[in-house]
Amino acid sequence: MPTTILLVDDHPIFREGLRALIEKVDATAVVGEAGDGAEAVRLAGQLKPDMVIMDLTMPVMNGIDATREIKKQLPATKILALSMESDRFFVVEVLKAGATGYLLKDTAFAELSDAITTVAAGETYLPRKVSTLLVQEFLQCIPEEMSALFQNLSPREREILQLIAAGKSMKEIAYDLGISNKTVENQRQMIMKKLNLFSVAELTKYAVRHGLSPLKK
């Protein structure tokens, strides 16, 4: 079944262009469009899409408030925020509201496609340009006692954690390391269990907090 998508942006010409691009992404179907946050909440309730691609700056109701309302009504619906803003406030607030990903409007089609596929699979998508903004917001929320937990990781688990911090998807990590996607997923779950973390975003924050830099190819 295709991933059903609701497009939300207050500029019709932008929605038209975005719709044309999304139609090129495999296994996706745009089922509706909204021009403001209030309309987005109403249509989401009617259409129950798998995903909402949400602009943040709109009249009537902004995208952050609309995201919060949609997630209250439809917890399973995934929200991919789409904005011109790379300000830390917008990134952090929309993720707190329940968005699963954040994408800048000046992105290339390939990244848009990756973001939709990643979010549809239940993973968090953050471009490298904005991932550090999220990390900076939460650096001081990580207890110092978690440092000791890092010693419990195997060399391969540390390598995978490092690649996650570099913004790699599970598929990319599997390719880089020459292992199966299932093995990577199992390793990631074990890392999260050992570190007492619950999401890829938290793994990324942890990695940066402990000085893990991206691996060189």
Average pLDDT per consecutive 10 residues, the chain (217 residues; last block may be shorter): 92 91 88 94 96 89 92 95 80 88 86 90 85 64 53 81 80 90 90 83 71 46
**Helix ranges, 139-180 (H):** 147-150, 155-165, 170-177
What's the pLDDT score for residue 159? 82
How crowded is residue 126: how many other Cβ atoms within 10 Å of its Cβ? 23
Q: Are strands 78-83 and 51-55 parallel, antiparallel or unpaired?
A: parallel
What is the C-alpha separation between 196 and 202, in angstroms, rounded?
10
What is the C-alpha separation between 185 and 179, in angstroms, rounded?
11
Q: Choose among 127, 182, 190, 129: nearest CA to 156.
A: 190
Handedness of CA 24, 125, 170, 119 (dihedral sign): negative
What's the pLDDT score for residue 150? 65
What is the C-alpha separation between 192 and 136, in angstroms, rounded?
20
Classify residue 125 by its DSSP letter.
Answer: B
Residue 168, strand partner residues: none
Within the chain, which residue ranges are assigned CATH 3.40.50.2300?
Answer: 3-129
What's the pLDDT score for residue 76? 94
In the chain, count of helices (H) and strands (E)?
Answer: 11, 5
Amino acid at 6: L
Q: Which pair of structure tokens corresponds to residue 167?
A: 């913004």
Within the chain, which residue ranges are assigned CATH 1.10.10.10?
Answer: 142-209
CATH topology of domain 3-129: Rossmann fold (3.40.50)
Assigned architecture for domain 142-209: Orthogonal Bundle (1.10)
DSSP output for 128-150: HHHHHHHHHHHGGGS-GGGHHHH
Residue 4, strand partner residues: 29
